[in-house]
Amino acid sequence: MSIEVDRAACTGCGRCADICPGSLLALDESGAAFIARPERCWGCASCVKECAAQAIALYLGEDIGGLGGRLTVRRDGPLLHWAVRLAGGETKVITVDGRDANRY
């Protein structure tokens, strides 16, 4: 499992590098984020949620039934709008209210 960075969308804020629990992300000489050791990523999605530019997508591989889709998230106050972009081009959006995080 791993992520991919859209270098054109990356603003170079460095927040993903700060939050990755495995210290897997860094900024290159041009100021764009990259993942140095993708094989070590365990898909926690912390960087995906932290990126305000939606420049990081979680790769949804076959091993988890994702069939090559990509997962990004847009924050809107307490709401998280998770967008699943399927390999065929279709996008499905699932909205989660962060205020419900500890409800269950």
Q: Binding residues for ligand SF4, per CB under 6 A?
A: 3, 5, 10-16, 20, 22, 24-25, 33, 35, 41-47, 50-51, 53, 55-56
Least spacing, CB of residue 91 vs ligand SF4, in Å = 20
Distances 87 to 41, 65, 69, 90 between C-alpha atoms, Å:
21, 12, 5, 7
Give dist(CA 94, CA 40) in Å, integer: 27
- Minimum separation from the CB atom of position 18 to ligand SF4 (A): 9
- By beta-carbon proximity to ligand SF4, the closer residue of 31 and 99 is 31
